Amino acid sequence: MSTNDPSELEQIPGIGPKRAKALRVAGYETLDDLEAATEADLRDVAMFDDILARDIKAMLNRDADDVVPVKQPNVVTPDDWRVTERQLAHIRTLTDDAPSDLVGTTALDVRDQLEFAMAPELLGFRQVCGRVVTHDSATGEYHPVPNATVHVEDTDCSFLSRFPSDLGYGWFFPFDCTRETVATTTTNECGEFCVYVPLWDIDRVLDFRRERVCLPEIVRPRIRDVLERPEEFPDPVNPPEPRPEPRPDPGFGRLFDPGVFERTAELVGEDVALRLGAGTERGDFGDLEPEATTLLDRPAFPEPPEPPLPEGFLRPDPEERLELLGDELPVDPEVIAAVDPDRLVGPFLRCRDVFVPEWRTFVDVPDITFRVTQDFDGDGTQETIYSEGFFDVRWNEEQSLDVDLVADDAANSIPTCDGLTPENVECETPSIESIGLLPTRSPIYDDATGYARRINRPKPPGSSTRPDGTAPFAGTLQLHGCHRFEEASYYRVLYSYEGGPERPFTGHEWHVPAIGRDPVHVQPSATDGWYPILDVPYLESYYGENLNDNPLLFPYWVLNWNTRGYRDGSYEVRLQLGDSDMDPLSVTSPSSTITVDNRAPNLDIGGIVWGPTSEPPEEWDNEITESCPRIERPSGEDIGIRVTFRAWGKHFRSVEASAHGCGRNPTLVQPSSSGRSNRYSYWHESVGDRSHRQTVVFEVPAGYQQGAYRIRLRGVSRAFNPAGGGRGPSTNWEYDTDYIDSHFTRLISITDA
């Protein structure tokens, strides 16, 4: 593999590798080609629009001393923003000098024409950047949606809100909505886009909300918002002291305050709560923070729950709905008839310090919203994959305005937005070049064993250095390799499991993103695992048009392998090329070893014993064996709980044992924690260290409250996934990650005798 010098096209401001490739696909190889092209010609190039075509031509034709700005890719600039009637109405509330012909002009025109007529602080712009993603409910991962069209819309909508009295959140049912598109852009290969929004339009949204109690707090909640809402949690959790902005990250340890974990799991789901709990496991001084901290800014409800509703409300026919509900709801009958019970947004966290009725109507609420479309079924028509984007952006925040738009499951997404491209690889013979983003080369990867060497390495006691590790692969793996050779029309990926007979991978399908076009649906051409090589002739047939270059973002992607459908163990994997009749050619690749393990560590509590701390723990004999254990604590006496546990697995990485209680957490006293911790942790010390057995003692002083206490174990595997969701490429694959873990919990009731 090698990195080639950028082409002369990439020397043009605003033209990176992807747009340069789009130009080559359209037949423009050199600057001379661009100079000969007209603006109309360039507008027809994928990822180009009127403004970019104009700027490129102006740059090529400029004098040496001229400076010509070039539009940024995947960005809605102030020159793209078109003024609507409603926006003009608001502008006229800010100045008496607004001309009537501003509708249809750009935000830059507004700034130029009203520079001395409007408050200067309203003439600027704020950048809103976002990602369009899909959510994998099985793994909790987010996958980017490339080449989707993002419509920025000026929206006015009325809402019927539903905030059940026994829940900390509620929903909105939109009705009587009007939308006007002010600009569009496309997502890049990572599903990303940016929009420059005029401050006078943000003022229009905020002005309406500031005049109404509670509305400024209504916004799509992030996980951090849930943890920062102490009033959502039962006693005895105490709210934190008021904090200045910007607020520090809420402590993960708070998840294990009494009642907090259960309430968090109720709000955002137990899987998310458990993953957040993993963030309490911190490394040594100087280590990077756990990856779980990235969860804080993720959507709290990527798969929103349904609201509790009266049965009659769910009827699709408005007249039947009104007849069944009668006077049951304190809502105008016209509103009940206008809403669609299947069209709702939320949930949103309940407003603080104000009474929120169960039902309330809001009329003509302005917002700047996003709608996303994509031709995901290849029929030539753009289908909506994200809508109802109300309250997505936190317009009143002083920090960066970033949004995650979670698209429908039908959207064409990709596991990662990076991979082998013609710009960073040279192929001489068939080969597997990378597993996900991890190169198949030493010292990062060990081809003899199929392990990654720098991920989750051992921590030998008394040593500041860490030897190479044995981290297996897990989850869905994107294999990239060299398979494009003149004599080959097809290829397949062969594997041998644990030295057994060689066979092809079969039945796998995936979508490869392309520049300016719909993703290519890759399917096997035969039952024996042959796939077509996606070269220019094949793609011309696929798209039904002539191509000057290959438009695929990842032309070396040879397999999307979901390892969860295969046995754990060692695989020898190699590429085999075939001719136009799918007959094997003599040229094959050397094999690459990939060790797979999707198993979480095993956990077990071998015994729980309690006794008074006035006696040595080894002399305690009050063994807890029942399934619903209860301790009767002697009045005024400190007690301890002795727990013997074991964690084991072929690729065991670490284990943590912790105790959690009512009001305050029990303290770990054996092994000693200097009285500052409620948890014990152990990290494997060598590659052969596959299990750990330990006895720990937690102290529960007499002054601690009665109630439910919890002993919790968490085991973590060395396994990881190199698709790009972690810090791998940025750290040269030298980092720790907790991709697969397991949990074991025992509840104990403590009452005073």
Q: Rounded mean pLDDT of 505-521?
A: 85
- Higher per-residue pLDDT: 299 or 231: 299
Q: Give all domains of the chain, ordered by start, each with its CATH number.
A: 8-73 (1.10.150.20), 85-219+364-406 (2.60.40.1120), 223-297 (no CATH), 431-596 (no CATH), 602-752 (2.60.40.2550)
The yes-or-no verdict on residue 92 having pLDDT over 70 is yes
572 pLDDT more than 90? yes
Return the higher-pLDDT residue of 412 and 416.
412
Region 449-464: mean pLDDT is: 93
Look at residue 273 in the predicted model and tell me its pLDDT.
64
CA-nearest of 264, 243, 244 to 253 is 264
pLDDT of residue 71: 45
pLDDT (mean) for 282-310: 63
Q: How many CB atoms lie within 10 A of CB 616?
A: 9
Considering only residues 347 and 259, tell me which one the structure prediction assigns the higher pLDDT.
Answer: 347
> Does the structure show a pLDDT above 50 at 727?
yes
pLDDT at 176 over 60: yes
Opening angle at CA 290, ends 738 and 744, nearest 5 = 50
pTM of the predicted model over 0.85: no
Q: Is 214 helix (H, G, I), strand (E, B) or coil?
A: coil
- The rounded distance, in Å, linking the Cα atoms of 407 and 415 is 14
pLDDT tier at 22, thresholds 50, 70, 90: confident
**Quick one: what percent of the chain has pLDDT higher than 90?**
27
The answer, yes or no, to whether residue 333 has pLDDT greater than 60, is yes
Strand, helix or coil for residue 539: helix
Position 619 confidence tier, pLDDT thresholds 50, 70, 90: very high
Q: Determine which of 256-260, 269-273, 423-427 has the lowest per-residue pLDDT on average.
A: 256-260
493: its two tokens: 């990926």
Segment among 113-122, 162-171, 349-358 with least mean pLDDT: 349-358
Residues 76/195, Cβ–Cβ less than 8 Å: yes
Least confident segment among 141-150, 393-402, 530-539, 540-549: 393-402
Report which of 687, 691, 671 is spatially closest to residue 679, judged by C-alpha positions.
671
pLDDT of residue 732: 81
Q: Per-residue DSSP letters for 249-261? A: PPPGGGGGSTTHH
For residues 48 and 73, the answer to whether their CB atoms sit within 8 Å is no
Flag whether pLDDT at 599 surpasses 80: yes
Q: Which pLDDT belongs to residue 325? A: 80
Tell me the HSE value of 161 on the side-chain side, using a 13 A CA sphere.
22
What count of residues does the chain have? Answer: 753
Instruction: Give the mean pLDDT of 384-395.
Output: 81
pLDDT tens for 471-483 read 999 999 999 999 9
Q: Whose CA is closest to 356, among 211, 215, 205, 208?
A: 215
Identify which of 644, 665, 524 has the alpha carbon closest to the alpha carbon of residue 236.
Answer: 665
pLDDT, residue 678, reads 85
Q: In the predicted model, what is the mean pLDDT of residues 15-40? A: 77
Average pLDDT value for residue range 174-202? 85
pLDDT of 418 strictly over 70? no
* Euclidean distance between CA atoms 344 and 365, whole angstroms: 15
Contacts of 533 (CB under 8 A, 6+ apart): 483, 484, 488, 489, 490, 491
Question: 427 pLDDT exceeds 80?
Answer: no
Q: What percent of the chain has a predicted confidence (pLDDT) above 70?
A: 79
Q: Residue 470: which of 719, 724, 221 has the closest Cα?
A: 719
- pLDDT of residue 13 exceeding 80, the answer is no
- In angstroms, how far is the first alpha carbon of the chain from the final one? 72
pLDDT tens, residue by residue, 189-234: 778 888 888 888 888 888 777 766 566 567 788 777 777 665 554 4
Average pLDDT, the chain: 80
Tokens 């994928």, residue located: 46
**pLDDT mean over 499-519:** 88
pLDDT beyond 90 at 531: yes
The pLDDT of residue 244 is 35
The first and second tokens of residue 57, run together, are: 């031509």
φ/ψ region of 137 (left if φ > 0, alpha if ψ in -120 to 50, else beta) reads alpha
Q: Is residue 186 within a helix (H) or strand (E), and if so which, with residue range?
A: strand 169-186
User: Which of the four pLDDT bands, split at 50, 70 and 90, describes residue 643?
Assistant: very high
Distance of CA 181 to the CA centre of its chain: 27
Report the range out of 40-49, 339-348, 423-432 with the highest average pLDDT.
Answer: 339-348
| pLDDT above 70 (res 584) | yes
pLDDT in tens, 351-374: 766 667 888 888 888 888 889 998
Query: Which amino acid belongs to residue 23?
Result: L
Higher pLDDT among residues 261 and 566, named by residue = 566
* pLDDT over 50 at 236, yes or no: no
280 confidence band (pLDDT: 50, 70, 90): very low
Q: How far, in Å, are 447, 503, 596 from residue 564 at the CA level?
A: 21, 18, 9
pLDDT exceeds cutoff 80 at 725: no
Pairing of strands 630-633, 741-752: parallel
| Residue 66 pLDDT grade (very low, low, confident, very high; cuts 50, 70, 90) | very low
| Mean pLDDT to the nearest integer, 430-441 | 90
